[in-house]
Amino acid sequence: MAASLKSQAAEIARGAAHNEKISEMAVQSSGVHRRRHAVRHADSHATCERHARLPSVAANLARRTHVGDIVLVYESGTIGAKPNRLPLSIGDGELAETADSVVSVPEIFNYWLQGGRIDVGFLGAAQMDRFANLNSTVIGPYDNPSVRLPGAGGAPEIAASCREVIIVMRQSLRSFVRELDFVTSVGHGRGNGDRERLGLRGGGPTLVISDLGLLRPNRESLELEMTHLHPGVTLEQAREATGWDLRSVPEVLSTSPPSPTELAALRELGGGSSPGDGSARTLPRERNPPRRRTPNRAPRPAR
> What are the residue ranges spanned by the domains of the chain?
3-269
Question: First and final CA of the chain: distance in angstroms?
Answer: 68
pTM of the model: 0.76
What span, in angstroms and rounded, lies between the C-alpha atoms of 257 and 277? 18
What span, in angstroms and rounded, lies between the C-alpha atoms of 259 and 271? 15
Q: Verify whether residue 20 is a known catalytic residue.
A: no
- Each residue's pLDDT, cut to its tens digit, for the chain (303 residues) gives 444 544 555 555 555 444 334 443 332 222 344 544 555 555 544 566 544 567 778 788 888 887 778 889 988 899 999 998 888 888 899 999 999 999 999 999 999 999 999 999 988 899 999 999 999 999 999 999 999 998 888 899 999 999 999 999 999 999 999 999 999 999 999 999 999 999 999 999 999 999 999 999 999 999 999 999 999 999 999 999 999 999 999 999 999 988 898 889 888 887 544 333 333 333 333 344 444 444 444 555 555
Give phi and psi for 213, each to the nearest 5: 170, -155
Give phi and psi for 59, each to the nearest 5: -65, -40
Please determine, looking at this structure, whether the domain spanning 3-269 carries the CATH number 3.40.1080.10.
yes
Amino acid at 1: M
Check: CB of residue 161 under 8 Å from CB of residue 118: yes
Among 11, 24, 75, 223, which one carries the catalytic annotation? 75
Q: What number of H helices and E strands is found in the chain?
A: 9, 18
